[in-house]
């Protein structure tokens, strides 16, 4: 069929409400003189407001997230000077439910009828949550890459202190990096390996093996924990936390110097498990100022969400002491 023979189907205006509902689109008009809005039922539902012939901007503003309220007011006031289409994304707060809404329209007074401008509201919460998830993942990946580079540099330094030839250096450094790879597998289990539990002592041994100068924990790093199982989810979280603590120790703490030592012990009660991470012989330590870096926040969040626990730090003159408190039942999951 040629283009000349094609006849476009006639659009049935009665289908418009169904099409708008399917697309999640809500309609609004804004009277620029009295600052009132007229909205369709979908818009009232989106804003959590009862049906009304008109609503004021202040009525809507009461449901805009306080952090976005002034920005949205300024953006709407500026739309008349915008040439062409515009889009404003903001958060609404209805009781405890936070949603993202996108307001879209045509600026520069184009299409204004009887002093009214027209546009749509769209719930874009899903898209915003996906964007935030991607940003969080990108931040975590960036942090891990920086840590891995710091670890590689630190492992090279501590390996150089215990070898005499370049061949020995290459062999031992390769062994340490291989052990680091095994530890990373505990953070991201390989396909087909999910669901397997580990012993707490084995888990800590694998995680800390790359940082041991003397081998087999013969002196520099000592681990003393009871024999107990750790579930896959808890193992992943503990691997993340221990990896972060070891990285910081290698960069700033006891593992950054030849004389430094690390002791990891554990005490178990009826409902709580406490792992004590004790560093000695390292450089002088002082409590950091401010909320801490990305790694500290990530560790605290993982402990709270995954293990119903918390992380405590004690900056003693002898060195850093970290206590990992966690719900004992969560450790088995």
Instruction: Give the model confidence (pLDDT) of 171-187 as tens digits.
Output: 767 766 776 666 556 55
The residues, ordered by sequence, that sit 6+ positions from 236 with a Cβ below 8 Å of its Cβ are 186, 187, 188, 189, 306
Q: CA 297, CA 292: separation in Å to the nearest integer?
A: 7
Q: CA 192, CA 237: separation in Å to the nearest integer?
A: 19
pLDDT band at 193 (very low <50, low <70, confident <90, very high): very low
How is domain 3-123 classified at the architecture level of CATH? 2-Layer Sandwich (3.30)
List, in sequence order, every residue forming a beta bridge with 322; answer none if it has no partner.
Answer: 277, 313
| 155 phi-psi bin (left φ>0, alpha ψ -120 to 50, beta other) | alpha
Per domain, the residue ranges of the chain are: 3-123, 129-331
Q: Which of 149-158, 188-197, 305-314 has the lowest mean pLDDT?
A: 188-197
Q: Is 120 helix (H, G, I), strand (E, B) or coil?
A: strand
Q: What pLDDT sits at residue 280?
A: 93
pLDDT band at 243 (very low <50, low <70, confident <90, very high): confident
Among residues 91, 92, 93, 88, the alpha carbon closest in space to that of 103 is found at 88
Q: What is the pTM of this model?
A: 0.50
- Fold annotation for 129-331: Heat Shock Protein 90 (3.30.565)
Helices and strands: H and E segment counts in the chain = 10, 13
pLDDT tens string 10-59: 555 555 667 666 667 888 888 878 888 888 888 888 888 888 887 888 88
């Amino acid at each position: 069929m040629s283009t000349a023979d094609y006849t476009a189907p006639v659009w049935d205006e009665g289908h418009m409400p169904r099409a708008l509902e399917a697309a999640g689109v809500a309609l609004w008009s804004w009277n620029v003189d009295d600052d009132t809005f007229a909205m369709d039922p979908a818009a009232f539902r989106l804003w959590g407001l009862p049906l009304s012939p008109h609503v004021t901007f202040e009525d809507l503003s009461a449901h805009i997230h306080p952090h976005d309220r002034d920005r949205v007011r300024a953006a709407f006031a500026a739309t008349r000077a915008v040439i062409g289409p515009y889009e404003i994304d903001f958060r609404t707060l209805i009781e405890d439910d936070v949603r993202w809404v996108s307001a879209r329209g045509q600026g520069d007074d184009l299409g204004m009828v009887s002093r009214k401008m027209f546009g749509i509201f769209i719930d874009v919460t899903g898209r915003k949550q996906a964007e935030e998830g991607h940003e969080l993942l990108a931040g975590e990946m960036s942090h891990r890459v920086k840590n891995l580079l710091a670890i590689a540099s630190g492992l090279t330094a501590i390996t150089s202190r215990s070898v005499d030839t370049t061949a020995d250096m290459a062999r031992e450094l390769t062994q340490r990096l291989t052990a680091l790879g095994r530890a990373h597998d505990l953070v991201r289990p390989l396909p087909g390996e999910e669901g397997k539990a580990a012993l707490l002592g084995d888990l800590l041994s694998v995680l800390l093996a790359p940082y041991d100068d003397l081998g087999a924990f013969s002196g520099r790093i000592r681990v003393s924990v009871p024999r107990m199982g750790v579930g896959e989810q808890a193992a992943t979280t503990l691997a993340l936390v221990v990896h972060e603590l070891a990285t910081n120790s290698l960069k700033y703490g006891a593992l950054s110097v030849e004389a430094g030592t690390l002791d990891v012990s554990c005490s178990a009660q009826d409902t709580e498990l406490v792992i004590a991470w004790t560093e000695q012989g390292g450089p002088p330590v002082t409590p950091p100022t401010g909320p801490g870096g990305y790694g500290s926040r990530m560790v605290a969040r993982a402990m709270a969400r995954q293990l119903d626990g918390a992380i405590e730090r004690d900056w003693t003159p002898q060195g850093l002491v970290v206590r990992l408190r966690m719900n004992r039942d969560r450790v088995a999951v």
